[in-house]
Amino acid sequence: MKHYILGAVSAVALVSAAQAQDSLVIGHALSPTSHYGVGAQAFLDTLAELSGGTFTGEQAPAGQLGGERDMIEGLQIGSLDLVITSTGPLGNFVPEVLALDLPFLFRDYDHARSVLDGEIGQELLDAMGGNDLVGLAWSENGFRHVTNSQRPITTPEDLGGLKLRTMENAVHMAAFEGMGAAPTPMAFPEVFGALQQGVVDGQENPITVITASRFWEVQGYVTLTGHVYSPAVVLASPILFEGLTEEQQGWFMEAARASAAATRAEVDRLEAEGVDLMRANGMEVITEIDRAPFQALAAEAAWPVYTDQFGTALLERILAVE
């Protein structure tokens, strides 16, 4: 019986890989021209070039295939080939990854990129394998900031009672409870409508997402809290990936690295231009605040969500990276 089942699974994997060769789909939650869209196109272009046109496909942007949690589940069951996603919901599938979502852990972009491109990043990509996912490369979403429709935020007290959408992430929810807000977890495709209808007062995202999503249409205020560095990751379905030859798998990993480089370059561009763009579209942008009280409250509330389960060893390694 066991041989029969193994035979069937192999056959499915081979058929899936054959079918996938000319119709790959890479899903993500943002617009086709966003930093994820740029990364998705770089992935497809690089893979087509490396494979001599054997592997082609298209991006499924703007949450067409659901929120990030839905798309990650699609990878696990093989209904989706590839995804570019933030780590927001990923901790529900790969708990070790929650370390990366801790508030005020990463000093700046250079620090975050050094950690993710080094041995720690590779260890966490490898950990995806035990959870029916294939981590191809670390990409980037950006440092997250708070937007809202009610008032300028300059101190944690200003967050008091604010209904704030967060990702489906226990660390982020704890952080905002600690800072005095009322966190509401929600999949990204629902966020713009919830802000428009006043279901929530605010949300938090990097400048890249705020600008790509034109949040200025529903949010009057943004404060550059930079409370969390939000990684993104290029993931593949194991059902697709395990049906590939070793050479083909190498093409996918190289294409994922090219995707990440393109996304990071777009993040750098938008970080430089984003404040002016948000102001030009009517947002009151507060760039200078005392982050210490935000950090004290957020870290005290959120870090134990991770350290109670995994301890502090990985965090000490991350903090030690130059």
Is residue 65 within 8 Å of 237, Cβ to Cβ? no
CB of 37 to ligand EAX, least distance (A): 11
CB of 162 to ligand EAX, least distance (A): 16
Query: Is the Cβ of residue 31 or residue 114 nearer to ligand EAX in the bound state?
Result: 31
| Near ligand EAX in 253-292, by CB under 6 A | none
Candidates 205, 219, 259, 263; binder of ligand EAX (CB under 6 A) is 205
Nearest 5°: the CA angle 10, 13, 16 is: 150
> Helix, strand, or coil here: 88?
coil
CB of 187 to ligand EAX, least distance (A): 7
Q: Could you say whether residue 68 binds ligand EAX (CB under 6 A)? A: yes
Unique residue bearing structure tokens 């194991």: 238
Give bridge partners of residue 58 from the DSSP assignment.
25
CB of 161 to ligand EAX, least distance (A): 21
CB of 167 to ligand EAX, least distance (A): 5
CB of 209 to ligand EAX, least distance (A): 5
Q: Could you say whether residue 41 binds ligand EAX (CB under 6 A)? A: no
Q: Could you say whether residue 86 binds ligand EAX (CB under 6 A)? A: yes
The interface mask with ligand EAX, positions 213-252, x = CB under 6 A, is -----------------x----------------------
Contacts of 113 by beta carbon, 8 Å cutoff, 6+ apart: 140, 264
Closest among 163, 106, 149, 140 to 209, alpha carbons compared:
140
| Near ligand EAX in 114-173, by CB under 6 A | 141, 167
Query: Is the Cβ of residue 188 or residue 306 nearer to ligand EAX in the bound state?
Result: 188
CB of 24 to ligand EAX, least distance (A): 20
Terminal C-alpha separation, the chain: 53
Sign of CA dihedral 191, 195, 201, 204: positive
Both tokens of residue 213? 């999503």
| Neighbouring C-beta atoms of residue 175, cutoff 10 Å | 30
Candidates 29, 100, 137, 255; binder of ligand EAX (CB under 6 A) is 29
The DSSP call for residue 291 is -
| Near ligand EAX in 88-117, by CB under 6 A | 88
53-79 CB burial, b ≥16 within 10 A, e <16? eebebebbbbbebbbbbbbbbbbbebe
| Neighbouring C-beta atoms of residue 110, cutoff 10 Å | 11
CA–CA distance, 177 with 301 (Å, rounded to integer): 8
CB of 268 to ligand EAX, least distance (A): 17
User: Where are any strands of DSSP class E within 34-111?
Assistant: 57-60, 82-86
Query: Is the Cβ of residue 86 or residue 149 nearer to ligand EAX in the bound state?
Result: 86
Query: Is the Cβ of residue 46 or residue 230 nearer to ligand EAX in the bound state?
Result: 230
Query: Is the Cβ of residue 14 or residue 214 nearer to ligand EAX in the bound state?
Result: 214
Please count the residues of this chain forming the interface with ligand EAX, following the rule CB under 6 A.
11
The DSSP call for residue 216 is G
Is residue 66 within 8 Å of 10, Cβ to Cβ? no
Residue type (1 letter), 147: T
| Near ligand EAX in 178-197, by CB under 6 A | 188
List contacts with ligand EAX (CB under 6 A): 29-30, 68, 86, 88, 141, 167, 188, 205, 209, 230
